[in-house]
Every structure is written in structure tokens, then in C-alpha cells.
Amino acid sequence: MSEARLYPGTGQHERTTFEPYSAFDIPADLRELHGRYDVEATARRVRNFRYAEEWMMMMMGGWVATIPELPVKTGLGKVIWETAQAADSLGKRLPELRCGRKSTGSSEAPNQSFAEVIQEIARPESPDLTIEKLVAIFDVLKPHLVEVYAKTMRETDQICDAPTIEILEDIVRKTRRHISWGQEILDRLCDTEAKRSARLQRAAEIRALLAASGGVTGELGSAQA
Amino acid sequence: MKRFIQHEELARDSRFIRQQNVAGRVLASLPDDVDAIVEAFEKLEPVIDAGTRGTAAEPLLDEYGVAFTLITLNEPLRPDDPGAETRLRMRMHGIFVGELQALEGAGRSLWDFPDSPWEFKMNMARQCWDEARHVQIYEKLLRHVGGDVGMFSESTFLFECACPDDPAMRVAGVNRGLEGLACDVFRDMLVYAEEAGDEVMKQAVDYVLADELTHVRFGSEWVKEFTRNDPERLKAAQDFRREVDRRFNFGGARSADPDAAIPIAWEDRKEAGFTDEELAELAELSGEGPSRKTLRAAADILVARHRERKGLAPLAEVQL
């Protein structure tokens, strides 16, 4: 066994030495085992996440024909594809979590209330409701998902559940870009006090429904959120 | 949001002018008879007039009457034609709105069929992104050739093919009929770009054509999958695709004739999964409509009558 070494960039006053592996002479892995979610809990969360991503993809697809603003139509095209990819990669994680080989297409709402929130988000259809359509996705649901995905990445077992973290990292990166795009569009569309007020009102309504449902995992506000 | 919308419900901004689709439907059912075509187009005059006034095609209507639609559709487009600039912009605009409707059709397939297989949804989601890029590409190409969005009216007959409530029929109509037509049109645009020495257009259209082959393949695979062990459903899908092909022949403008305005892109279609039997059938269908010679003769009569009515001097030759 070699002598204890300092991590690169640290000094003698810091207690961050490590014992190199004898075989490889590389720093020891300081991560600890045991996260907040076991296999079953992670599988349930992944199915919940996939439910939200799949429904967002479907409703944005339906909206394209009902939205008159050309840049919104074309911008949604890419968001739809990346949201579908998010649902797809989450689905591919399910068989790895003992959900069965055919589970890649499985989605599950955490509860009936969340399923109703999704239907409320999908409700606007007439061409004069672009703001109402976009607010629910880009001001509320996608930001909520980023928050929950980030929390999941922090709290799950960093080694055992690393594949889920990898998937969520990629989804969060793209979702943040979607939110920026959507909010920029909304800032431009909401060019009067009445429209800004409609945006805030719709966001508040959806946020309240989301909170009441417990969010994408059904645990928002509880100890397990 | 309800499921299944009609083409009248497509949302557009204020730049767009909607055109009734009657002319396209009539053209698809015309016999190879000069008098019948003249009579049909004279009856269509109010519809064509309404869809043309206020657009960049209005001067053509004033000069040639309703016959301008026959000529612009049925004559091959080449860079040294007298009216090539206007016709190129018309074609670019037509492709642009076609891509827009294809984007909307793929998006609606995601919403209208929530219980469809996941792989189908993935294909449609990918198509949404591709079509969105195509809209952006053709908007830029339209400006590249001196045009702009809304300068001509929009016919929504492409989206009409995206309305069936059976996904098998929808992919047969959209991914095989509509996207197959796109292969023909884009191959012809590549010939135009080559002749015009337009490298920007050539490269962009070539990329779009590559995407279209993928979309036709989606269609070929999903028609098979949706109709597996269901011969009646397969027949309905094939019949619908034939009907779409018949309409998209534009009365013979797209055909197997070597001098067709839009020749069939045999090689591209084969690569996309069309069988030899299907291609032979398409060639046969495209030969059902009036010949180019008949359409030209009808156009000459229509132009002469129009100019006489308006007190304009007769033209020695109609060149557009």
C-alpha cells in the first residue's frame, strides 16, 4: 500500500488525503452508498416522470395546428422531439429496474389528481389561447419537473442509481433550454397588461392544482417530496 | 383539446390567405377533353378569383385569367422560362405551406392517437422536428428567391389527407402520398437548382429530400404494422393512398412522362420503400388525367376568352 496522498489542489491543512488503491494508484471513491429511493421507488418515479413527458409531447403535438404564431409552431417542433426523447430514455430505464422487458412504454400518473392536472393543461384549444397553452408548460410544469429531477439526482444512490442520474442530467439540460425558449416567447406574446395578467393568472391556477395533486410524484409538500 | 380537427381549423397568422380547395379536386377528376376543362375552369372562376385577389398572383390573374393556374401547374419550371421568377416563388410558397401542414399533421397524429404504439409516437415526434426545420428552411429559401410568407394564397388540401381517424390511413395518405409527392417535387427542384447554379437551394433541398425518404419509410413500415392480419384495413389504407396520389397528380402535372412538370422520382421512391407494383400503379394513375397538350389547349382558349372580355389585345403565345 502506498502512502496517503493529498487530493490534487489541496494543502496539508486540509484533511482530504486518500489511500490510493494498491493496484491502480487512483483516488478512493468517497461517495457513500444508500440513497433515498430503492429500486421499486425509483421505478415508480421513472414511470411518473415518463407520464408527464409523454403527455407534454402529445399535447404540444396537438397544439401546433391550433397556434397561429409561426415561430411558436416551428419552435415547438424541436421541443416535441426532445420531450419524446426524454420519455423514451426514461422508458428504457424501466426494464433495468425490474419492471419487465416490455415495460419501456409504461407511464403512470402518481394519482388521479395529477392526471386531471395534465388534462387541464391540455384543455385550451382555440387559436387565441397561445399564452394559456404555453404558460402551463413553460412557466409551471417543466420548471416543476426540473426541480423534482434535480432533487431526485441529489437524493438517489449516486453509485447504484447512476444510470437514472445520467438520464435525468440530459433531460434537465434540455428542459432548461425549453423553459428559456418558452419564457422568451411568452415575454414577447404578453405585450399588454391584460396579457401579462392572463399569464400570471393561468400560472397561478395550474400551480395550485399541481400543488394539490402532490406534483409529478404525488409527494409534493410531503416528507418524501 | 378535442381530438380530430378539420383543415378549416388550422390556425394561421394575419399574413396568410386561405384558398378553397375546389380547384385541386376538380383538376384531379377532369377528363382528357379540352371543352370539359374550359367549362370546369370557367365555373371555378369566382373561387380562383377570390383566392388570388390581394396576393402576388393577382397580376397573373389580370393578364391571363383563371388559365394562369393551369399553366403554372402544368408547365415544367426551368430557370430561363419567361415567368420563372414568379413561378419559382409560387412553387416555393406552395412547398412552404405544405411543410407547415405536414408539421401540423404529424403533431395531430401524436394527439389524436394517444394509445398508438410508442415507436409510432417517436416517429411522429421526430417528424414534427423535421417538418418544423423544413418550414424554417423553406421560409428562408422563399426569401432567397425574393418571396415572402403570405404572398400567395394557401390551399390546405395537403392537411385534408391528415384527417382520417385511422392511423393506418393517415400514414398511408401523409407519409406515403404526401411525402412521396415531396420526393418528386424536391428531385425536380434539385434539377432546377443545378440548372440555375444555385448552390444554396441545391444543398438545402437535398437535405430536405433525405428527410422525406425517412418519412416515407415511417409510412411504409407503419401501414404494414397497423394492417397486419387485417386485409380489410390494408385495402382501405391502400385505397386512400391511391385517392391521395390521384389528387396529387394535379391532373397530370406530376406524371411518368419525361416532360412532365413534376416527373416521378423513381429512384428516391424505391429507396424510400415503394415497391415496383406501387410505382407502376402510380404511373398508371398519373396517366388518367388530361394530357399536357390538352391542358395547354384549354389554357389558350381560356386566356383568349379572358382577354376578349377584358378588352385586352390577344396574345400570340401564352408564356408564363
* Chain B residue numbers touching A68 (CB-CB < 8 A): 11-13
- What count of Cα atoms within 13 Å lies in the side-chain half-sphere of residue A212? 12
Answer for the pair B68, B55: CB distance below 8 angstroms, yes or no: no
Largest CA distance in chain A: 72
Which are the contacts of B82, defined by CB distance < 8 A and separation ≥ 6? B319, B320
- Tens-digit pLDDT profile for chain B (320 aa)? 999 999 999 999 999 998 877 777 777 778 889 999 999 999 999 989 988 999 999 998 999 999 988 888 778 899 988 788 999 999 999 999 999 999 999 999 999 999 999 999 999 999 999 999 999 999 999 999 999 999 999 999 889 888 999 999 999 988 988 889 999 999 999 999 999 999 999 999 999 999 999 999 999 999 999 999 999 999 999 999 888 888 877 767 888 877 788 899 999 999 988 999 999 999 888 877 788 888 889 999 999 999 999 999 888 776 65
* Chain A residue numbers touching B137 (CB-CB < 8 A): none
* B contact residues 112-131, partner A, Cβ 8 Å cutoff: 112, 114, 117-118, 121-122, 124-126, 128-131
Of A62, A74, A91, the CB nearest to B136: A74
Of A65, A81, A125, the CB nearest to B125: A81
Alpha-carbon gap, residue A219 to B213, rounded angstroms: 46
Q: For residue range A83-137, list pLDDT tens digits in order.
A: 999 999 999 999 999 999 899 999 999 999 999 999 999 999 999 999 999 999 9
Is the CB of B313 inside 8 Å of chain A's CB atoms? no
Look at the alpha carbons of B209, B210, B212, B217 in this order and tell me if their dihedral is positive or negative: positive
Identify the residue among B9, B18, B118 best suited for mutation to test binding to A, counting A beta carbons within 10 A and taking the highest: B118
- The C-alpha cell at B89 is 416563388
* Chain B residue numbers touching A127 (CB-CB < 8 A): 11
Burial class of residue B211, CB neighbours in 10 A (0-12, 13-18, 19+): buried
Q: Provide the 3-class DSSP secondary structure of residue B48.
A: helix
* Chain B residue numbers touching A124 (CB-CB < 8 A): 1
Whole-structure pTM value: 0.92
From B72, B102, B79, select the one nearest B170 (Cα to Cα).
Answer: B102
* Chain A residue numbers touching B3 (CB-CB < 8 A): 62
Is the CB of B9 inside 8 Å of chain A's CB atoms? yes
Distance from CA of A143 to the nearest CA of B (A): 22
Of B5, B13, B159, the CB nearest to A68: B13
Q: Are strands B262-263 and B254-255 parallel, antiparallel or unpaired?
A: parallel
Q: Do A65 and B149 touch (CB under 8 A)?
A: no
- Which domains are delineated in chain B? 7-309 (1.10.620)
- Which domains are delineated in chain A? 1-30 (no CATH), 39-213 (1.20.1260.10)
Which are the contacts of B251, defined by CB distance < 8 A and separation ≥ 6? B27, B28, B30, B73, B74, B289, B290, B295
Alpha-carbon gap, residue A211 to A25, rounded angstroms: 50
Of A65, A91, A127, the CB nearest to B107: A65
Alpha-carbon gap, residue A72 to B103, rounded angstroms: 12
Taking each helix axis from N to C terminus, what angle separates B276-286 and B231-248, rounded to the nearest 10 degrees?
40
Alpha-carbon gap, residue A24 to B146, rounded angstroms: 66
